[in-house]
Amino acid sequence: MFLSFRDEVESCLKNALKAAGIEADAELEESDHADLASSVSFKLASKLKKSPKEIAGEIAKHIRISDYKFIADATVSGPYINFFVNRSFLNDTIEAISEKKCDYGQLGYSDRIILEHTSTNPNGPLHVGHIRNSIIGDTLSRVLRKAGYDVETQYYVNDMGRQIAMVVFGLERYDLLEKKSDHAVAEVYISANRAIEKDHGLKAEVDGFMQKYEAGDKKIKEKFMGAVDLCLSGIRSTLERMNIKHDRFVWESDFVWSGTVRDIIGIVEQSRYSEIQGGALVLDLNEFGFEKEYVVKRSDGTSLYSTRDLAYHKMKAKDCDRVIDIFGADHKLISSQLVKVLEILGVKTPEIVIFEFVSLPEGSMSTRKGKFITTDELLDEVERAAYEEVDKRRSDLTEDIKRDIARSVGVGAIRYDIVRVSAEKSTTFDWKNALDFEKQGAPFIQYAHARCCSILRKSDDEPGFNPDLLIEKSEVDLIKKMSKFPLVIEIVSKDLKAHLIATYARELTELFNQFYRDAPVLSVEDELKKARLCLVDCTRIVICEALELMGIEAPEIM
């Protein structure tokens, strides 16, 4: 709804500028002083040799709001031109949400997107650093789907790396412990690393595994795939606990078996940037500001991670309109090289979201050293803490219901806490913070939703309402906020900034809580009660949808 208002204001301002004989873009901004504001007059001041105030006044003289459906007023405040929404904008917003319900916020886009996220090496469980990738990726995929895109999420399985060869090596020598498969694999991997540190002679055995695997040795292939499957099943179940599911798992090795790696090497050989260095095929990216060459084929003829990554991205580019990758800060350089190479080869380049690292108070995490906090551990602890809270407040509920609520609250708390921080900020994990539910996070939003549900449950009034009655400031502010839900989806779809959804959900909840305090619903006279019930229902819908975009459940009681 807000998008229509914005379009109207844009056209209105454009026409006014034209009528005033001024050439300028009709730029708009959000403002505390208006629903939309323009500060074009500043930019025109030096050109027109007049004060911004004068110019604003002149433009305003040519504004014709009567041609538009949603503009109530356009006023001049010093150099600013302020636009305000009218009553039918508010009424239409309420009606749109009531009618569309869960579809409110759909933008009707239809392009196909492949979004890759998580893609951690299958040599151990997800740790608390990895899930920043998963949570940002999953949130973005949900937002993009909401916007209408046809999204396929992919997990790129790195099964050809040294780490996996180490796992295979470890599985030959050590027994798997009786624990969740990904955790057991990590134990074996850590032991293998220790053994090789002690006796470097064992390294040759690992190298041998890698060479045989790339050559397609049947027995080794079985071992590699078995080890990867084992670990991956554990990772998948952890992701599932957080409401995250991938549509497709793409194995790195498939690009070798299928011959696409060979094809890409052939294409690179044709490039004018390629050369042979010491028997290896490389691309010289010097003129693009990269010091190091991009190696595509080793002197022994085998491929590298970077080669297979090219093949993978070529496939993705062919299969969709937008390719999106979520990578950790350690991939900054390599991914910008990848983009450059794809450009050179004439392949559509991916949009890359980089997130900075999550570290522990004592330093960064490492699977190899066994220095990490697993996501399963975090989920267990947070859910336990959530259960205590629920039990304290709602001893009247059955055990099953309390467990269910605790799970929703626990997962929500974790997901929200991670997604709310913008990706370029590095953070430090600490237990005290993670288990603190007093903070304004997901439970704050979920609770507001439960309140909406509670009010609606207590009333048996028929729909049918007069939205003109919703005139209190807290009511109007709440409606305006809800009108911006599609705008947020539009911005996030374009800029890929997942944290904006978290900010929006929090602000919406704050406004609902103010309404809740200022405007009684069930105790007022009939017509007003109906109107407010409808507003509560709309709020319920939008909060629920906003939570859904973050993969957080919205319990009806808690």
Is 380 in contact with 428 (CB distance < 8 Å)?
Answer: no
Minimum CB separation of residue 334 from RNA in Å reads 4
Phi and psi based region of residue 243 (left: phi greater than 0; alpha: psi -120 to 50; beta: remaining)? left
User: Rounded to an integer, what is the distance from CA 225 to the centroid of its chain?
Assistant: 30
What is the per-residue DSSP string for 460-484? Answer: ---S---GGG--SHHHHHHHHHHHT
436-466 burial, b if ≥16 CB within 10 A, otherwise e? ebeeebbbbbbebbbbbbebbeeeeeeeebe
Near RNA by CB under 7 A: residue from 127, 145, 316, 506: 506
Q: Which is nearer to RNA, 229 or 389 (CB)?
A: 389
- The reply on whether position 33 binds RNA by CB under 7 A is yes
Tell me, by CB under 7 A, how many residues bind RNA. Answer: 94
- The reply on whether position 517 binds RNA by CB under 7 A is yes
Radius of gyration of the CA atoms of the chain, in A: 28
Q: Which stretch binds RNA (CB under 7 A): 137-145, 231-239, 433-441, 476-484?
A: 433-441
Near RNA by CB under 7 A: residue from 4, 22, 43, 477: 43
Near RNA by CB under 7 A: residue from 389, 404, 477, 548: 389
Where do the H-state alpha helices sit in 355-484?
Answer: 375-393, 399-419, 431-434, 442-457, 473-483
- In three-state form (DSSP H/G/I as H, E/B as E, the rest C), the secondary structure along 16-64 is HHHHCCCCCCCCCECCCCCCEEECHHHHHHHHHCCCHHHHHHHHHHCCC
Q: Which stretch binds RNA (CB under 7 A): 161-169, 229-237, 315-323, 375-383?
A: 161-169
- The reply on whether position 15 binds RNA by CB under 7 A is no
Minimum CB separation of residue 178 from RNA in Å reads 28
Is 521 in contact with 539 (CB distance < 8 Å)?
Answer: no
- The reply on whether position 135 binds RNA by CB under 7 A is no
| Token digits of residue 441 | 């996070």
- The reply on whether position 451 binds RNA by CB under 7 A is yes
Near RNA by CB under 7 A: residue from 331, 348, 371, 403: 331
Minimum CB separation of residue 525 from RNA in Å reads 14
Q: Which is nearer to RNA, 320 or 501 (CB)?
A: 501
As a whole number of angstroms, the distance between CA 531 and CA 512 comes to 15
Near RNA by CB under 7 A: residue from 141, 158, 260, 539: 158
Near RNA by CB under 7 A: residue from 230, 421, 469, 488: 421
Using CB under 7 A as the binding rule, the residues of this chain from 167 to 196 that contact RNA are none
- The reply on whether position 544 binds RNA by CB under 7 A is no
- The reply on whether position 267 binds RNA by CB under 7 A is no
Beta bridge partners of 366: 371
The total of other beta-carbon atoms located within 10 Å of residue 142's CB is 21
Is 554 in contact with 485 (CB distance < 8 Å)?
Answer: no
Near RNA by CB under 7 A: residue from 333, 384, 461, 466: 333
- The reply on whether position 32 binds RNA by CB under 7 A is yes
Site string for RNA, 297-316 (x = CB under 7 A): -xxx---xxx----------
User: Rounded to an integer, what is the distance from CA 257 to the centroid of its chain?
Assistant: 33
Minimum CB separation of residue 364 from RNA in Å reads 4
Q: Which stretch binds RNA (CB under 7 A): 3-11, 464-472, 505-513, 546-554?
A: 505-513
- The reply on whether position 519 binds RNA by CB under 7 A is yes
Q: Which is nearer to RNA, 239 or 413 (CB)?
A: 413
As a whole number of angstroms, the distance between CA 1 and CA 416 comes to 26
